[in-house]
Amino acid sequence: MKGHSTGVEGDARDLAKSVHQLEAELELMRRSLDDVSGSLARAIGSQIDLRATIAQGLVAAVPPCSAPITQHRREHRAGRAPKIESGPQTARLHPRAHRPAGLPPNRR
């Protein structure tokens, strides 16, 4: 019986040693993840700064407008475009509107 208890104690020591090693490995992994997380945050910050710099450069590269904005707006009148009665699309969409005059409806 005495030998049996020594085996159990040895198993308990081995188990405790395994748990201790596992805890050490988990702590190492946690520190590694913290390092990676910090690196990722710095990379994202750099990306944001770079995008802002690019956007500022693009805005600065746009040439100034030679015409006042009011003139440009006048060239593009608001509202509905005028209807073109004799256009090819109108003929396709409304074939009855483009029948030759003088023919009966069933012959047009």
Is 92 inside any structural domain? no
To the question of pTM greater than 0.75 for the whole model, the response is: no
> Which pLDDT does position 1 carry in this prediction?
45
Backbone CA torsion sign across 24, 28, 34, 40: negative
Tokens of 18: 């395994």
Q: Does 93 score more than 70 pLDDT?
A: no
> Which pLDDT does position 10 carry in this prediction?
85
Domain count, the chain: 1
Is 32 inside any structural domain? yes
Is 41 inside any structural domain? yes
Is 16 inside any structural domain? yes
CA dist 50 and 42 (Å) reads 12
Tokens of 51: 């995008």
Is 20 inside any structural domain? yes
Tokens of 36: 């990676």
Is 47 inside any structural domain? yes
Tokens of 108: 């047009």
Q: Which domain holds residue 13?
A: 8-57
